[in-house]
Amino acid sequence: MSQNEHNAGHESPIKTPKQLIFTVVLAFLVPILLIVMISQFIANIRSVDMSSEAMSPDAVAKRLKPVADLGFAEAGPSAAAGPRSGEDVYKSVCSACHASGAAGAPKFGDQGEWAARIKQGEKALLNSALKGKNAMPPRGGGADLSDLEVERAMVYMANKAGAKFAEPAAPAPEKTAAAAAAPTAAGKIDGKKIYEGTCVACHATGAAGSPKAGDKAAWAPRLKTGIEALYASALKGKNAMPPKGGNAALSDAEVKAAVDYLTGLAK
């Protein structure tokens, strides 16, 4: 191979000063552009992630939670607060129409508009409020309102327009079975009545080996065991006697009162 051919094989692609300058500029610009593009790409990814996280259901719920809690607190009372007053129900439900007279509703405090309705009587007004009338839906649209709350709101509005209806009071709480079985205000359960209603079937005659009422000799050894042992026998049953003398409806206090009565007869 000649020297010229060898030099041609290793000839540089840069032949002019312009080509040299262009190559040097590219050598600087290309890495810089690559770095900028990579940085921008990473920044976009982070922005998307942050945006997704900010709009996630949990994040939105957390931002709305204080507002939601306030809304529910204003919408109605807690279970422990009891029935709402007529004024509270009016402000939260009825005022939507009655404050302005919208949809033909008698305007709050307008005696002229309420006069004819008040003449119909309290029961008629309550019936309309509960079942709805004309454009007014049942319970004024407050489906969660109790009958008492609806009545209170109706009475409140009618009285503000000249009626003299009595404010309905909350009903007295019902006695539970446990409360009914508990001692009365006098402090004692009538053991004699319990005896006569349940225990007399055996203890009046001494049937099935039961100690006869008032038989001191038959009761003497039993009294020696102590009152707690006698209570336990009466509650749980012993020998032929079933638990609570066969009357499962009796409370423990009632059974003990019957035992006290029987032991009192034998002392």
DSSP code for 221: H
pLDDT of residue 249: 83
pLDDT of residue 79: 43
Q: What is the DSSP string of 96-128?
A: HHHTTTGGGPPPTT-HHHHHHHHHT-HHHHHHH
Q: Which of 54-68, 142-156, 186-200 has the highest mean pLDDT?
A: 142-156
pLDDT band at 15 (very low <50, low <70, confident <90, very high): low
Query: pLDDT of 46-104, one tens digit each?
Result: 554 444 555 555 655 555 554 444 343 444 444 446 789 999 999 988 988 899 888 88
pLDDT of residue 39: 76
Whether residue 17 is predicted with pLDDT greater than 70 in this model: the reply is: yes
Query: pLDDT of 109-138, one tens digit each?
Result: 999 999 999 999 999 999 999 998 888 889
Query: pLDDT of 234-265, one tens digit each?
Result: 888 888 788 888 788 889 999 899 889 888 88
Of 10 and 247, which is predicted with more confidence?
Answer: 247
pLDDT of residue 58: 62
Which residues, in sequence order, are CB contacts of 84 under 8 Å at separation 6+? 76, 77, 92, 149, 152
Q: Give buried/exposed letters for 32-68 (b at 16+ CB in 10 A, else e).
A: eeeeeeeeeeeeeeeeeeeeeeeeeeeeeeeeeeeee
pLDDT of residue 228: 92
